[in-house]
Structure formats: C-alpha cells, structure tokens
Amino acid sequence: MKNTENLGILNINSILYKTRLSPKFLNRRVYKPSNPKTIISFIPGTVLDILVKENQQVRKGEDLVILDAMKMQNIMKCIIDGTIMKIHINKGDKVSKGTVLMELK
C-alpha cells in the first residue's frame, strides 16, 4: 500500500493502532499541573515594578509584580502565604509568556 509510510502507534482503549500521527497530536501541549509556588507571566509584557524583595514574607492576596501587557498594567497577586525565595527578573525586563518571574517557599 502506497500511503503507509511514517506510521506510528496510537493507543485507544488498550488497542494499539498502526496509523499516521498528526503534527497537532505530536506537538500537543503536555499538561502540567499549576504550581502556586512558581509565579509565571501569564502573558508577554514588560516588568514595570517589583513590589517584593527576596526572603520577604508574603500573604495571600499581596501584590508581587506589575506587568505591562495588552496596554494594561496588570498587578500579579500572590495566591498563597509564603516567603519569596528567588526573584528572576529586574525592573524593565521584557518577558515572554510562561517565564518564571519568582519562586516562593
């Protein structure tokens, strides 16, 4: 058969099918559970201000970073109580989506 090159295996309900795998399937985003201890930029933008310092204790709801994106000043808030372990950014940095901005413990 002519069209059967580049076949992969797809497992559906414990049955292994010989078939072509689509680029969309192969490049699909692998799920990662969100971690409230890592603060990630949810959108690309510019760091306007950092409102906390390393080793500072923070409470849930406290402001962490102001990110300028989509013509808005987005205030990123802490969603847990904790301590700022590491800050990876400086004021004025341009960050892409998904960049780790700071880590808590």
Nearer to another protein, 89 or 104 (CB): 89
Q: What is the CB-side half-sphere exposure of residue 30 using CA atoms within 13 A? A: 1
**Residue 86 beta carbon to another protein: minimum distance, rounded to whole angstroms:** 24
58: how many CB neighbours lie within 10 A of its CB? 19
Question: Contact, 67 vs 45, CB < 8 A?
Answer: yes
The secondary structure element, H or E, covering residue 84 is strand 82-87
> Which among 83, 105, 103 has a CA at the least distance from the CA of 38?
103
**Residue 97 beta carbon to another protein: minimum distance, rounded to whole angstroms:** 8
Interaction pattern, residues 78-97, with another protein; x per rule: CB under 8 A: ----------------x-xx
**Residue 16 beta carbon to another protein: minimum distance, rounded to whole angstroms:** 6
Note the residues at the interface with another protein (CB under 8 A). 1, 3-4, 7, 10, 12-22, 24-25, 28-29, 31, 43-45, 69-71, 94, 96-97
